């Protein structure tokens, strides 16, 4: 029988050992393989490659999952930190906002106790603060100033008179605005007895410049927290600090002439604050962002580490008006109290006031001394108005005129006194009685 004529066997047929068996099934259809088939079978090779590819993919997936886990953990930590800071559980240092000084100017900020207050007052004052470079016969001196007035095309800058004394005669002034504009300035006038000078400068456009908000010394109290704000440009040029904070520790102080100066300095505020040399002439600001004075350097025996003497803003602005008008300061009235302090306490309500002024030192031969006011006396009212602080006394004197008659009430050895006192003209210097 020919092979093609062979019929298939039934299930009960027995195999014939003498006849060849049917061909083997393909390797992929069997449960086992001969070793020779494994070595040469391309399907097996593809399976091995597939397994390797799947393993590599799995490792890539695992790596991506691990990376996503790390990123998720970092994001979660940041969100958690933000929530803790927002709720006040964790505190974070506050950056001081400035008037965007250029990135090339290194700005050094105080990290002291009053940073939260600084974030409120610095942006309010900084646009009005300028830097000054004064070049004179004795060299170049740098400092700060504040724009206090504008008229026509002019900006008037209030600064420290010591800048011009140190630079010497024939001084040339360069003024740098908060936006980085540099212009030549002109010295309008100076008053060494008040520690101030006025400089005129043209900044264009003028409406881009800002004048500061001025406070009043009538509101200044001993122990009040204050801030010094100078020019970031000047501070950056010397790697200094344009900001500092501290406290008013004395509300009236008389400074004798030093280093050959011809004038003493009268009715100066004293602050427990360390001011960088480039910030002298800049603003002393209260917690509301109002300027209450101009910082001044003091040299010689009167200088104290950590102390800064300040021209009261009421006194300074009286000078500014006179110098813009006449090129020189108006004569200052002379009362004669050289040193004084604020006094408050439980016993004061019986006097009908929450505070009074205690006289520390009276000038010999002054109107106050002639009226009988002596050291340790208590001044309760001036001009019929209660005087509860030295700041009020300074503010009143800034508006007074030489020759003016004023009624003063005070306590001497717990006895009430009253006198009408005629104010004199402030001398170049004075001596304690």
What are the tens digits of pLDDT across the range 90-109? 333 332 222 222 222 222 22
Pinpoint the alpha helices (H) of 214-297: 232-237
| Amino acid 212: pLDDT | 86
309 in Cβ contact with 274 (< 8 Å): no
pLDDT at 283 over 60: yes
Backbone angles phi, psi at 321, to 5 degrees: -60, -45
Whether the pTM exceeds 0.75: the reply is no
Backbone angles phi, psi at 233, to 5 degrees: -65, -45
Confidence of residue 344 (pLDDT cuts 50, 70, 90): confident
Confidence of residue 176 (pLDDT cuts 50, 70, 90): very high
Eight-class DSSP state of 422: E
Strand blocks (E) in 290-348: 291-296, 307-312, 333-334, 337-343
Average pLDDT, the chain: 76
β-pair type (405-412, 378-382) = antiparallel
| Amino acid 258: pLDDT | 65
Q: What is the pLDDT of residues 215-272, one digit of tens each?
A: 999 989 888 999 999 999 999 877 788 999 999 987 778 888 765 567 788 999 999 9
Q: What is the 3-state secondary structure (H, E, C) of 18-55?
A: CCCCCCCCCHHHCCCCCHHHHHHCHHHHHHHHHHHHHH
């Amino acid at each position: 029988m020919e092979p093609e004529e062979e019929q298939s066997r039934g299930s009960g047929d027995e195999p014939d050992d003498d006849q060849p068996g049917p061909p083997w099934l393909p390797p992929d259809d069997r449960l086992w393989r001969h070793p020779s088939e494994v070595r040469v079978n391309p399907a097996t090779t593809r399976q091995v490659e597939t397994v390797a590819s799947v393993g590599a993919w799995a490792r890539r997936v695992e790596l991506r999952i691990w990376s996503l886990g790390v990123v998720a953990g970092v994001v979660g930590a940041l969100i958690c930190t933000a929530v803790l800071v927002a709720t006040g559980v964790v505190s974070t240092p506050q950056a001081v906002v400035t008037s965007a000084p250029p990135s090339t100017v290194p700005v050094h900020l105080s990290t002291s106790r009053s940073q939260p207050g600084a974030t409120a007052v610095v942006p309010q004052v900084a646009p009005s603060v300028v830097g000054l470079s004064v070049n004179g016969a004795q060299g170049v001196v740098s400092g700060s100033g504040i724009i206090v007035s504008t008229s026509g095309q002019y900006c008037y800058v209030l600064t420290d008179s010591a800048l011009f004394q140190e630079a010497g005669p024939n001084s040339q002034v360069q003024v740098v605005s908060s936006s980085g504009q540099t212009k030549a300035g002109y010295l309008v006038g100076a008053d060494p007895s008040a520690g101030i000078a006025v400089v005129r400068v043209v900044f264009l456009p003028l409406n881009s410049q800002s004048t500061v908000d001025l406070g009043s010394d009538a509101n200044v109290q001993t122990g009040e927290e204050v801030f010094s704000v100078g020019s970031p440009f000047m501070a950056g040029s010397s790697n200094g600090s344009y900001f500092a904070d501290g406290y008013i520790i004395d509300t009236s102080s008389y400074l004798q002439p030093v280093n050959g100066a011809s004038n003493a300095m009268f009715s100066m505020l004293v602050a427990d604050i360390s001011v960088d040399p480039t910030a002298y002439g800049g603003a002393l600001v209260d917690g509301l962002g109002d300027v209450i004075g101009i910082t001044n350097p003091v040299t010689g025996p009167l200088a104290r580490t950590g102390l800064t003497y300040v021209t009261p803003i009421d006194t300074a602005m009286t000078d500014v008006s006179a110098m813009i008008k006449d090129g020189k300061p108006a004569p200052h009235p002379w009362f004669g109290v050289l040193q004084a302090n604020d006094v408050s306490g439980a016993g004061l309500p019986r006097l009908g006031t929450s505070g009074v002024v205690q006289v520390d030192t009276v000038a010999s031969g002054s109107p106050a001394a002639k009226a009988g006011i002596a050291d340790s006396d208590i001044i309760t009212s001036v001009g019929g108005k209660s005087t509860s602080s030295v700041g009020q006394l300074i503010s009143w004197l800034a508006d007074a005129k030489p020759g003016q008659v004023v009624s003063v009430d005070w306590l001497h050895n717990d006895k009430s006194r009253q006198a009408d006192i005629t104010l004199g003209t402030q001398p170049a210097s004075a001596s304690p009685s």
